Amino acid sequence: MFDRPVYDQIMSANAANRSVPSEDLLQSTGFWAMFVVWGLGLAFVFCWNLFFVWRAYRQLNGLGKARSYGAFLITGVFALLIASIMMFVSSALEG
């Protein structure tokens, strides 16, 4: 663990069903390390999808680059739409 006092504060807040002050989290090394690891993982998955999976999709379906990029754009629009709907539903359920 990077920051034992913040970890203990998070666990006690979780047990009491309350939130942790964001000032404490922003000063935590572990919190920032989590975001770095998360960001690197997200970048890796995005690059993998962009270069390898999409190329395989195009080859398997016999699509040209123009149709492939069109499908990629449509997929991106729908992914953003679904992600925003999920965030709205999640925030509505939290109250």
The structural domain count of the chain equals 1
Whether 54 maps to a domain, the answer reads no
CA–CA separation, 68 vs 15, rounded Å?
Answer: 49
Whether 27 maps to a domain, the answer reads yes
Please give the model's pTM, rounded to 2 decimal places: 0.47
pLDDT at position 95: 63
Whether 2 maps to a domain, the answer reads yes
* Domain enclosing residue 2, as ranges: 1-47
Query: Locate tokens 């998070």: which residue?
Result: 10
Whether 61 maps to a domain, the answer reads no
Whether 4 maps to a domain, the answer reads yes
Q: What is the pLDDT along the chain (95 residues), one digit of tens a residue?
A: 567 777 777 778 777 777 767 776 777 777 788 889 999 999 999 888 878 888 888 888 888 888 888 888 998 899 999 999 999 998 888 76
Contacts of 24 (CB under 8 A, 6+ apart): 6, 9
CA–CA separation, 87 vs 82, rounded Å?
Answer: 9
